[in-house]
Each structure stands twice: as structure tokens, then as C-alpha cells.
Structure 1
Amino acid sequence: MRHRQEVVVGKSNRTIEKKNSVWAVIFRTTKEHKALSGGLFCATIGAILTTLLPPLVLARIIDGITREQGLSAMLILSYFGFLACTGLLEATREALLTVFGQKMTHALRSSLMEKFTNLTTEGITRQEPGVLVSRFIGDVDTVENLFTSGIVSMVADSCKIISILVVIRYRNPGLALLLVLLLPGIFAFTRYVQKNTLAAEISNRKAVARASGHVPETLHNIRTVHCLGKERYMKERYDGYITDSYRALEKTNFYDSVYSPVILILNAVVVAMIMMLSASGNSKVLMFFGMSAGTAVAVMNYISQIFAPVESLGMEIQTIQTAMAGIHRINEFFEMEEIGEIEERAPNSGENIERKVPLLEFDHVTFGYDEHIVLKDMTFRVEEGEQVTLSGRTGAGKSTIFKLLLGLYSPEAGEVLVSGIPATKVPPSEKRKWFGYVEQSYHMVPGTVAEQITLYDESVSREQVKRAARLAGLDSEIETLEEGYDTRCVPELFSQGQWQLLSIARAIVAEPKILLLDEITANLDAETEHQVMQALKRASEKRTVVAISHRVSGEMGRVINI
């Protein structure tokens, strides 16, 4: 039975909040903009109510004419006044919807970026760039469309249908009964279209995400593609993604094109049936369907007002289902593990350990990228204070071992342990205290010389920066600069060897227990290499060192062949 160190470290200052979701962001934004939300609600309700009045006024006008009572100027003014109010309220609703949608988009993108900055390293490295970008752009845009031309309009249309049915109930009970019998069938048909459209939209968005990620992937590896003659293969993969997208779109367009004609035909059939029944002359039939000329005009108007929003519902289904697919993908992103949610157990040398464990351990580790296995059943240990060299051919997996030690990836099988703790469980805030990583090439960040070393870590003091620079053998060179450690860095400020010394200072400034060295002298001349090796000798004292080297002369300590 393996004994592991079980040490609970203090909780971070950041409070772990409940996971976000699209609906939580929407609810929060609605509360933050109460005036906007209230105005949108009032405009929507007002537009629904004023829509019911013009047909009733028109019925009274026509009935007055047929009864030879003459035209009423007040009724005519009321009719056009209600039409004007309806148009004004609907225009106000659309304007407020646009503003509300923009507020929602801003809040959603801000929440996504906050989530992104709190993701674990493994979560970020596992994300395909194209898929990630599509969530921030395409999926968020679909959520905005959900409000600007989707769910609010759908609710308004539903309320309008219910209100019209109530009015028709008192004007023509038979028609109301007929419509009530028809609505379940319309609803069932709508649900059928809805489900199939949603499935097609999800398939389309997945295909588009794969196609979006394929383009930068091809550009990034274009030299390899040309070298291996894989142009046709990459083209066929892209064509496959586009074909999948087209097939999904064809399904969506089919259901969208079928829905509207069915609703329009049903509208015409209902109007014809009502007119025939009201003119039948049968007293029993007329009890339910009889009506005056004015009521007939109002009823036909109301029937159009019922089927028009039902048709709109069909038009909005695609928008809503597209948005639901986007919401589904965004919520998947929100559900990814954050830094603060990692099990708060980290190695701590100050605690008592039941049994001494290796500082670093690969325990029957297997790992690969996609289908290509790089490491298979690898086992080795590195004790505290030991210096080892990883040696092997290019592509054998030496740099991959470093990524696994740093917890950037999880092994497919086996365990990667740091002082008995899985490497992926070491909190990111603690990693710099455990690992110092020196790469082959220096990666400059915007800022001063001091910021190159601290990487904007405010917990690192100026004294620590100077001590790290002294150990790296670069302090005298920095002191000769016009502004010393506060000098802004540009590529020509240091030589290649000096940049590598700065990289060593960056790695050791937080006084880590372990140094990881990735072939750091591969591109240096003999004199500069000697200078860098002397700096490494000073930096490696009282530390565990794991180095990658192809040359025997560069090896230190025990050699592990990969």
C-alpha cells in the first residue's frame, strides 16, 4: 500500500463561488438593470393589450355602417390611435431589446473571461483554440439573439395568442373551441420541428468549431505538412468538417422551410371553415358560429393575429434552438474545473510524513497526444537533492516528462507524484515554490528587467530579485544599465547568453526546491556555455535538478534513458 503525504494547506484568499452558468449571468444582469428590464416588460405588455383593441373598434365601425348608423369620428380616431400606440410600443420594445441584448453580451463575455483566467493549466492546454474562440464569439452572439429576436418575442407572441382566444371566446364561442382543438396539434408539430432543429444546430456548431480549429492548426504546422506531403490529407479533413456542417444546415433549413407554409395553409383553412359555418343558415350552428359583419371582420383579423405569431414562433425556433446549442456549449465551459476547486492538498516539507517518499516519481506512466503514445509504462524516482539527466532521441518524450511534472497534463495511466502528491493536485499558486523551469529559449514579457524575473509576482521582493541575479551572474551587468532593474526590456538589451542567465534568475527567484533544465546550452557557443554552466552550478546548490541533455558533456548526476 502506497503511503502518501496528506497535508492540508490554507485556503486561498479567493472565495470559491458557486459555478456560473448562462442563466445565472442573465438573472444577475436583469437585476443590475432593473429600469431597463421594467421598461421592456411594460412595453411588451402594453403592445399586447393595444393589439387587441383595433379589431374591436373596427367591428363597431362596420356594424354601425351596416345598420346605417353612420360613421363615428371618435371611433375612427380611436382605431388609428390604437394602431399608432401599438406601433410605438412595439418599436420601443425592439429598441429596449437591442440595448438589453448588448448588456447581456457584455456580461456574458466578461464572465467567460473571468472563468478563463481561473481555469487550471490542464484545462487550458486541453482546449482547442478554435473551439475556445467560438465560445467567446459565435456562441455568445447566439445568446444575444435569444433575447433580441427570440425568447422575449416568443413569450410576447404566446401571451398575444392567449389574449386573443379570450376575446374570441366572447365573440364567437365555436371559433374559440375550434382553435383550442387545433392548438395541441400545432404545438406537437412545433415541438417536432424544435427537437430536430436543435439536434441539427448542435451538430452544426460542433462541425464549425472543428473547422475553425483546423485552419490555425494547419497554419501553425504548415512546414511539417509540406515536408511530409500531407496537403491532401489536411484538405480532406477540412472538407469533412465543412461537409458535416452543410449536412446539419440542410436539416435546419428543411424544417425551417416546411414550418411556415404549413401554418399559412392552416390559417386559410380555418378562415374558410368559419365563413362557411357562419353562412350555413342552420340555427344550431349559428348559436356557435353566427356573427355580425363587423364581428366577422374582427374575427378574421384575430385569426390572422393568432396564426401570424404562431408562424413567427416557427421562425424564432431556429434562433432559439441555435441559442440553446450555444448556451449548452457555454455552460460546458463554465463547468470546467477552476484553480480554486482543485483539492487543496499540496506537498509541504515542514509537515511530518509517515514514511519517506521520493521527491519526484513516475509510477508506470503512460501518456500520448491523441493516438500517438509518447511514454509507455515509464517508472523512475528522483530523491531530494539528487541531480539527474534525461537522455534520449528527439521526440522520445523528455519535454513531455517536464509537462507532466508541472501538472500541465494528466497521465493516461499511472501516476506522476511530487512528494507523494499527484502533480495535477499541486495548486498553481504553489508551483513556483516547487519548480523553477529554464527553457532552451528565453521568452520575454513586456516590462522591466525586474519584472522579467518576478513575472509580476508581487510576493517576490526586490532583494530576492537581486539575489537571483547575483546567483545567475548577471547582477553587475544589470547595475550598469541606466535605470538598473527598472530598465524597460527590449530584445537588443542583452546578448543571447545574458538572456539565458536572466532565465535562470527567473527560475530561482522564488527559491524553488526543484530545477527543470531543458537543453539550455544547446544554442550557445563554448564561452557562453561555460558562463551559463557556472551560473547553473551556483543555482543548483541544495536543490534537486532534472536536466534534459543530448550531449554527454552536458550530463550531470545520474542518467535516465528515455
Structure 2
Amino acid sequence: MRLLWAFARPYSKVLVSALLLSLLVSAMALATPLVTQWVLETVAVGGSLRDPVLVLIALLILGAVVSWFQWVMLGKLAEDVVYDARRAMITRYLGARVFDLGRRGPGQLVTRVTSDTLLLNEAASNSIVGLVNRSIMVLGSLALMATLDLVLLGTTLASVLLVGLVFVVLMPQISRVEERSQASLGDLGEELTGTMRAIKTVKSSTAEARSFAELMRHVGESRRWSLKSVRIQAAAWTIGMAGVNAAVIAVLALGAYRVSTGEMTVSVLVAFLLYVWGLAGPVLELTEDLTALQSGLAAAARIGQIQELPVESELSDVSIVPATQPVEEDAQRRQDLPAPGAGSEPPAGWDGPALEFQGVTAGYGADLDPAVIDLDLAIPPRGHIALVGTSGAGKTTVLSLMQRFLEPSAGTLRLFGTPYAELSHAEVRGALAYVEQETPLVPGTLRENLLFSNPAASDQAVAEVLERLRLAEKVSSLPEGLDTRLTETNLSGGQRQRVALARALLAAPRILLLDEATAQIDGITEAAVHRTIRDHATRASVITVAHRLSTVIDADRILVMHAGRIIAAGTHAELLRHNALYQDLVGSLGLGPGSGAPRL
């Protein structure tokens, strides 16, 4: 409820205005039976119907106008709530720590932003106003009934209290079932996302039937919980309607008897019946509002889990608190963020290491063994360093520490002599550029991918790097050149790797990190890539996690890792002569002694 109110609170004035309009509509609805009684009494005495009919017409027109304004106001409020919720979650996603975010599947994260926010919007806008308004409508009707006939009021109250008791019992069940339904929907999104990413593997393995069965299992689970929610809601609606109808029958029977005995007039009975019939709408709408509120509370609970994601730094530490003027605040926030590369230049006259590890220990959980242990490492401001070792040696962990994707549990990292703790994440990453082994493409065109790390790069710089990486011919063959929107099919794996490398080079980083950036590239193209990397290494640091012998031979210095530690360092020739593990690693490629050992 606190989170739900957090999204509604910035729009409290709108909520109050909508509530006042809603109450005005309710007041006019409550006045209608009294005016009807006026009409009947006027007919009974043979008076003029002009005034009561004009009042009825005025109530009709005014009610329609006020209702229109209320609907528009609540519709805008609902969209604002959705905007704020999505903005807050996306901000938290982008500011979260990489590995903490990775523990939640992308399907679950997407579901929070898409379907959960839609449930939240109804609860935070229409349901809040509707609950208050409909409750006042019911209480107002009962109060006016009391002025007409207390005996019939008692009969009506018995039905209303029965309906209220049913709501108290059923509504919490709806909340629990809706939460399970949304969780099942998130599981479906997770499974479908993974299947679509691996669609080639699915088809090549002729596993379509198995994938279909697994996906439909999640579809069926979501349907099962949704149907359970439908049955509970149907019970609430049915009992609510039955209660109102029972009240109408009881009032009609008892009222007719009282009219026959002269205890009340026909006009009073008609007015009372109109109020009882009028209760049907508010009671059933209360059911709908309470159902929507319970669904919204379930969605709010799932959205609230996003608040548990740890953020990286003060620049990304944005809690899920909506902005009253989100667009303007977002624009201001973008202006406040440091520019790419800001704070990444070494101090004037600096001649020390570009990046330094001092006694660094780090891991991926308190209950897991450290991935690197007491690591000391100094990266020179220029040159090419290669990290080699068997799987699990800690190579990728070193790159993650450099980029602050992972924080050390002990020891210190320094960038140009400044401890990481004194730098923001943006300042650290401004000195780095990273090329992943998977080389994912960012959504958008080829130009947007190339300029993603440095939007200010010139057309000439783009053309030069495309030429050096042998991509110029491919670009010219695309239907819209650099403005072609990239898909999984219009670039090969090797071309995607070169696009990622081009993006990193256009950022002009002081430290270039490569996680086997040539794994999918042919020999001729690889030579061009290595020339480009060697050229960059003459003026900056290049650090490579290496799995290919060609990358190792090119490096100025090779660091051999084993069990989270650096056990040897030297050139290819030196290590081949003096280090047994390195000999085994090279031998695993069939190019030296020790054949049969693990790959690099």
C-alpha cells in the first residue's frame, strides 16, 4: 500500500479534484430519486410538472458534463502513474549492479515494466477514487433511505452487510491469486525470451515440440491462476448482485404491504426502490474496484522487489519514487551526468600504471570461493597485455573488477593512481572500452551502434575505423548504409564482433578491454584487426582475455592465471620455455608440447 501510494501521491491534487467531481456526480444521482418522488407527488395533486422535469433534465446534462471531465482527468492520471512506474524501474535496471541484475531473468524484468504497471495504474487511479466515491454513494443512499422509511432501511442493511462480509473474505484471496498469475506470466516471458534467442539451436536440434510443450506449460500455469481469479471475482459479483436483488424483493414485498396498510405512500415506496436499485451499481462497482485494488497490490509487491536491486553509485541510486514532472526531470538528469570519458584522463605528468590492483580478492557470493585471491597487477599506460588460463582461472573476473561490474571484498584498485573508491562508476568507465565475447548489438541502426559509446565521433573517424576493420564494403552493401537497422540476420558473427570493436575504438579509450574479440573472425580479417589493436596499443593500454594462440603471440606481456592468482608473466617465448602450465595451454592447440591439456 505504501508503494501504491508513493505513485499516487505526486498526483494527490488531481485525485482530490477527480474525487470531488465524482462526488458531484454521485450527489446528482442521489438527488434523482427525490426528484422522482417530487414528480409523483405533483401528479397525485394535479400540479405542474414543469419544475421537476426541468430539474431532472438539468441533473442529466450536468452529470454528463462532469462525468466527461472526471474520465479525462482519471485517464491522464492513470497514464502518468504508468509512466512514473516504468521510468522508475528502467532507471533502477540501468543503475543496478550487473551481476545482481543478471540473477533475475530478462523475461521477469520485462513483465514488471509491461503488464505489472498496467495493473498498478488501475489501482492507483480509478480504484482509489472509485472506492471512496462508491462507499460514499452507498452510505449516502442508506442515509437518504433512513429519511424515507426506517423499517425498509433495516431490510436493506441486512443485504448490504452480507455483501460486505463476502468482500472481506474474498478480496485477500484475489490478491494472492493475482500475484501467482503475474509470476507465471513472468516465467512465460523468461522461457519465451530464452527460446527465441536460441531459436537456431531449437530448430537444429529438432526440439520444436519440446520447446512448445515447455512454453505451453507456462501458458497453462498462467491460465490456471487467472481462471482461479476469475472464479473468485465471479463469486463476489454474483453474491453482490444476489444481495441487491434480494434487497429489492424484500423491500418491494414489505413496502407493498406497508402501502396497503397506509403506513407509507406509493411515492415514498417508489423513491425507496429507486435507491435500492441504485445501490446495485455502487455495490458491483465496489466489487470491481476492490478486485482491481487487489490486483494492483499484487503488482505493487512485484514492482517493489525492484527496489531490492542494489545500485552501483550515487549517480544511479534512484529509488522507485515517481517524479511529478518526469520529462523535465529526466532531461535535467541527463544534463547532470558526466560526459563520456569525463574524469578518465591521467593527471598531468603521470608516468605510473594506468590501472593497478593491490591485494585484490573478489567473488560472486559470501557462500562461494573467491574468484580472484590477493591479486597484485599493474597495467602500463601503453602496450598489449594478455590474460590466459584454464576455465575458471579468474580472467573474466579481472575484467569485471576493472569495470566495477564487481566490487572487491578486499584490496584496492587504482585508476591513474586514484583509488576506485574516490571515483564514480562513470569516471572509471570513461577511461575504458569493453568488447564482449558475445558482442551483442544494441537496438537501432548500424550508425547508432558504432556511436553508442561516443556519440560525438566524427564521420571521418567512423569511415577510418570501418576501413581498418574491413567493414566498409559490408556497409556499402547494406540497403541504407550506416542507417540500416541491425537484426540477427544482416550481420554475421564476425561482423558483429568487428562492429563492437569499432564502437570501442571510436570511444578512444585509455584502456581497451577485449574478451576474445576475434573468436569468430577469419584469418585475413584477423590480421587487419590485430594491426588495429597493435596500433591502439602504442598510445593506450589493451588488455585481452585470450583463447587463441594468435592473440597470445601478439601480446607484449602475457599473464598466466590459475585458481584466481597470477602464477607467471612474460612473453610468449619466455613462458613457453619456463612455465609448464603455459606449455600445456599451448599444447592443447596442437602446436606444442603437452597436447591434450585444456584450451586457453
* Equivalent residue, structure 2, for 1:557: 558
Q: Distance in 2 between matches of 1:178 and 1:364?
A: 72
Residue of structure 2 in register with 1:10 after alignment: none
Query: Does structure 1 conserve the Cα–Cα contact (< 8 Å) formed by 2:181 and 2:222?
Result: yes
Q: How much has 1:158 moved relative to structure 2?
A: 1.2
What SS does the aligned partner of 2:264 have?
coil
Which residue identity does 1:359 align to in structure 2?
F
8 Å CA contact 1:94, 1:148 repeated in 2: no
CA 1:117–1:543: 2 relative to 1, 3 Å: same
**Structure 1 letter corresponding to 2:277:** S
1:363 aligned to 355, 361, 364, which one? 361
Query: Following the alignment from structure 1 to structure 2, what is the Cα–Cα distance between the partners of residues 247 and 502?
Result: 44
Does the 8 Å contact 1:201/1:249 carry over to 2? yes
C-alpha distance in 2, partners of 1:251/1:551?
56
**Alpha-carbon contact 2:37-2:271 (below 8 Å) kept:** yes
CA separation of 1:84/1:550 partners in 2, compared to 1, >3 Å: closer, same or farther? closer
Instruction: Report the Cα distance in structure 1 between the residues aligned to 2:394 and 2:364, rounded to whole angstroms.
Output: 11
Contact 1:438/1:504 (<8 A) preserved: no
The 1:281/1:239 distance shift into structure 2, 3 A limit, reads closer
- Output the amino acid matched with 1:46: L
- The CA deviation string for residues 227-283 of structure 1, in whole angstroms up to 9 with x for no partner, is 56655553443233223212211221111111222223322433444455556679x
* Equivalent residue number for residue 428 of structure 1: 425
**Contact (CA 8 Å) 2:371, 2:397: kept in 1 or not?**
no
Name which of 33, 36, 45 aligns with 1:58.
36
Higher relative contact order structure (alpha carbons within 8 Å, sequence separation ≥ 6): 1
Counterpart residue number, 1:437: 434
1:318 aligns with 2:291: yes
One-letter code of the match for 1:48? S
* Matches of 2:426 and 2:256, distance apart in 1: 82
Question: Residues 376, 172 of structure 1: CA spacing in aligned structure 2 closer, same or farther, 3 A cutoff?
Answer: same
Superimposed CA distance per residue, residues 172-221 of structure 1 (whole angstroms, 9 cap, x where no aligned partner): 12344555565454333212221111111111111112112221210111
Number of aligned positions between the proteins: 507
| Aligned residue among 173, 177, 180 for 1:196 | 173
Extract unaligned runs of 5+ from structure 1: 1-19, 351-356, 479-486
Q: In the alignment, residue 276 of structure 2 is paired with which amino acid?
A: I
Report the CA distance shift for 1:542/1:189 in structure 2 as closer, same or farther (over 3 A): same
Looking at structure 1, the residues matched to 70 and 234 of structure 2 have their Cα atoms a distance apart, in angstroms, of 25
- The alpha-carbon distance between structure 1 residues 293 and 75, as it changes in their structure 2 partners (threshold 3 A), is farther
**Structure 1 counterpart of 2:377:** 383
Q: Which of 269-278 and 193-202 deviates more?
A: 269-278
Q: What residue in structure 2 maps to residue 84 of structure 1?
A: 60
Whether the aligned pair in 1 keeps the contact of 2:344 and 2:428 (CA below 8 Å) is no
TM-score by length of 2: 0.66
- Cα 1:166–1:424 shift into 2, 3 Å: farther
Q: What residue in structure 2 maps to residue 341 of structure 1?
A: 314
- Say yes or no: does 1:518 pair with 2:519: no
Aligned to 2:232: 255
CA distance in structure 1 between the partners assigned to 2:438 and 2:10 by the alignment: 45
Aligned with 1:341: secondary structure?
Answer: coil
- Asked if 1:69 is matched to 2:45, the reply is yes
What whole-Å deviation, never above 9, does each CA across 1:67-95 have from its counterpart, x for those lacking one?
Answer: x5225313551463255246525642564
Do structure 1's residue 418 and structure 2's residue 391 form an aligned pair? no
The answer for unaligned runs of 5 or more in structure 2 is 318-342, 348-354, 473-480, 564-600
Q: String of CA shifts for 1:12-40, please: whole Å, max 9, x gaps.
A: xxxxxxxx966444333455xx6x974x4
Percentage identity across aligned positions?
Answer: 17
> CA–CA distance in 2 between the matches of 1:185 and 1:455?
64
Deviation at residue 316 of structure 1 after TM alignment: 3.0
CA 193–227 in structure 1, closer or farther in 2 if over 3 Å, else same: same
C-alpha spacing 1:278/1:220, structure 2 compared with 1 (3 Å): closer
The Cα shift of 1:56 comes to 1.7
Answering whether residue 84 of structure 2 is matched by residue 108 of structure 1, we say yes
Instruction: Tell me, in whole angstroms, the C-alpha distance in 2 between the residues paired with 1:255 and 1:340.
Output: 45
1:295 is aligned to 268
CA drift of 1:342 comes to: 7.1
| Match in the other structure for 2:27 | 49
CA deviation string 1:33-55 (max 9, x = no partner): x6x974x4453222111112222
Measure the CA separation in 2 of the matches of 1:155 and 1:124: 39
Mapping of residues 76-475 of structure 1, within 5 Å: 76-78=52-54, 80-81=56-57, 84-85=60-61, 87-89=63-65, 91-93=67-69, 95-97=71-73, 99-101=75-77, 103-104=79-80, 107-108=83-84, 111-112=87-88, 115=91, 118-122=94-98, 125-146=102-123, 150-180=127-157, 183-226=160-203, 231=208, 233-275=210-252, 277=254, 290-333=263-306, 336-341=309-314, 359=357, 363=361, 365=363, 378-379=372-373, 381-385=375-379, 389-392=386-389, 398-399=395-396, 402-403=399-400, 405-408=402-405, 418-419=413-414, 427-439=424-436, 452=450, 455-456=453-454
Q: CA RMSD in A?
A: 5.3
Partner letter of residue 270 of structure 1?
A: A
Would the alpha carbon gap of residues 542 and 108 (structure 1) be closer, same or farther in structure 2, given more than 3 Å must change? Answer: closer
CA gap of 1:425–1:199, structure 2 versus 1, over 3 A, is farther
Q: Note the C-alpha offset of 1:506.
A: 3.6
User: 1:439, 1:518 within 8 Å by CA — same for their partners in 2?
Assistant: yes
- Asked whether the equivalents of residues 434 and 513 of structure 2 are also in contact (C-alpha less than 8 Å), the reply is yes
Deviations 1:317-345 (A, max 9, x none): 3333223333333344366444543799x
State how far apart, in whole Å, the 1-side matches of 2:88 and 2:29 are.
Answer: 40
Label 1:262 to 1:93 Cα distance change in 2 as closer, same or farther (>3 A).
Answer: farther
Find the aligned partners of 1:59 and 1:450 in 2 and give their Cα distance.
Answer: 71
**Match of 2:303, as an amino acid?**
I
Task: Give the secondary-structure state (helix, strand or coil) at the position aligned to 1:456.
Answer: coil
Q: Given the superposition, is the C-alpha separation of residues 541 and 150 from structure 1 closer, same or farther in structure 2, using an over 3 Å criterion?
A: same
* TM-aligned CA distance change 1:401 to 1:367, over 3 Å: farther
2:9 is equivalent to residue 27 of structure 1: yes
Q: In the alignment, is the contact (CA less than 8 A) between 1:342 and 1:425 conserved in 2?
A: no
Q: Residue 365 of structure 1 aligns to which amino acid in structure 2?
A: G
* Structure 1 residues 326-377: Cα deviation after superposition (integer angstroms, max 9, x where no partner): 3333344366444543799x99998xxxxxx961766363579xxxx9x875
Asked if the contact 1:146/1:320 (under 8 Å) is kept, the reply is yes
Find the aligned partners of 1:133 and 1:533 in 2 and give their Cα distance. Answer: 39
Cα 1:57–1:251 change in 2 (3 A) is same
The answer on whether the counterparts of 1:48 and 1:156 sit within 8 Å (CA) in structure 2 is: yes
CA contact 2:533–2:542 (8 Å) conserved in 1 = no
C-alpha separation in 2, matches of 1:538 and 1:108: 47
Contact persistence 1:278–1:290 (CA under 8 A): no
- For residue 550 of structure 1, give the secondary structure of its aligned residue in structure 2: coil
Kindly provide the CA deviation profile for residues 366-416 of structure 1, in whole angstroms up to 9, marking residues without a partner as x.
Answer: 579xxxx9x8755362411377643356798754653454343679xx679
CA distance in 2 between partners of 1:188 and 1:317 (Å): 13
- Return the alpha-carbon distance in structure 2 between the equivalents of residues 210 and 349 of structure 1: 47
Cα deviation, residue 429, structure 1: 0.5
In structure 2, give the amino acid aligned to 1:384.
A
